[in-house]
Amino acid sequence: MLKQGIRGFAALAALALLAGCGHISTRALPNANISGYRHIFVEHRLADSFGVADEIARQLRVMGYDASAGALTMMPGGTDLIVSYDDLWTWDFNTYMIELDVQVRNAHTDKILAVGHYFRPGMVFGHAPSAMIHDLVVKLFRHA
């Protein structure tokens, strides 16, 4: 009886760990080398109360891009790419991000060049939204 209880607890613990794992996927159009562009503008969403746009721009600057964020009307001249995003947050005794979708568009043609998706179905302790953003941006811009 005790062995069955231990096995059951171990199975539940494994499921809890798997529920916290994240999944990142990126996709670029054929012949779309977004890493070759230098000037990137991150479109700030009106409902962004968590600073996602600013964090995406910061992560891009760390990678060596000239990146800024703001309302689309504030886009500087000479912008090559526009990054837009949708983020989904939830609350479970703490507010945390569970999903991030990113689109990278050509600033001159508005054509989508690449997309990225990060889904983390459960709260993972110690994995801040900035880490999710970092993981997705690095994968999207280095492998697109």
Q: How many domains does the chain have?
A: 1
Q: 24 by DSSP, 3-state: which?
A: strand
**Is residue 98 in some structural domain?**
yes
**Is residue 88 in some structural domain?**
yes
**Is residue 84 in some structural domain?**
yes
**Is residue 86 in some structural domain?**
yes
Instruction: Check: CB of residue 84 under 8 Å from CB of residue 117.
Output: no
Q: Tens digit of pLDDT for each residue in 62-108? A: 999 999 999 999 999 999 999 999 998 888 777 778 899 999 999 99
Q: What is the pLDDT of residue 125?
A: 54
**Is residue 14 in some structural domain?**
no
Give the CATH number of the domain where residue 105 resides: 3.30.160
Confidence of residue 137 (pLDDT cuts 50, 70, 90): very high
**Is residue 13 in some structural domain?**
no
Q: Tens digit of pLDDT for each residue in 25-51? A: 777 777 778 888 999 999 998 888 889
Confidence of residue 22 (pLDDT cuts 50, 70, 90): low
**Is residue 73 in some structural domain?**
yes
Instruction: Check: CB of residue 22 under 8 Å from CB of residue 110.
Output: no
Q: Which of 87, 83, 92, 93 is nearest to 114 (CA)?
A: 83
Q: How far is the C-alpha of 10 from the C-alpha of 31, rounded, in Å?
A: 47
Question: Which residue range is the domain that position 44 belongs to?
Answer: 22-143
